[in-house]
Amino acid sequence: MMAPTLDAIPPVRSGRRGRPRLRPDQLHADKAYDARVRRQECRARGITPRIARRGIERSDKLGRHRWVVERSHAWFNRARRLPVRYERRADIYEAFTFLQASLITLRQIQRFC
């Protein structure tokens, strides 16, 4: 499913004048995507793959930072109602999601101020 996902990426808007790039310059991925075929799919589309290697546990390479998306999902999963959806109505679930996002933002503001 990586190739169709790469093909579905909308044009990247960089703020510069001229024709927008069709694809990003690099792809960062975790060890689950470590296969020669995945790297070839990226290179065929002109994307430089930065994929962590299996069996390498070095802290100075790609896996050093916790990815922003994984961290954000973990923050949202702190609210017990969000990982397992109990509400039948989408508007109530969306309200709980907004509430959790505002609590996350408040914690971050308190942390830095």
Q: What is the pLDDT of residues 41-73, one digit of tens each?
A: 989 988 888 887 877 666 555 555 556 777 888
d(CA 8, CA 23): 10
Residue whose C-alpha is closest to residue 77's, from 51, 55, 96, 58: 96
Q: What is the pLDDT of residues 83-101, one digit of tens each?
A: 777 778 888 888 888 999 9
The pLDDT score that the predictor gives to residue 2 is 82
* Identity of the amino acid at 72: S
Going from the C-alpha of 64 to that of each of 50, 52, 60, the distances in angstroms are 13, 10, 6
Tell how far CA 93 is from the center of its chain. Answer: 22
The pLDDT score that the predictor gives to residue 106 is 93
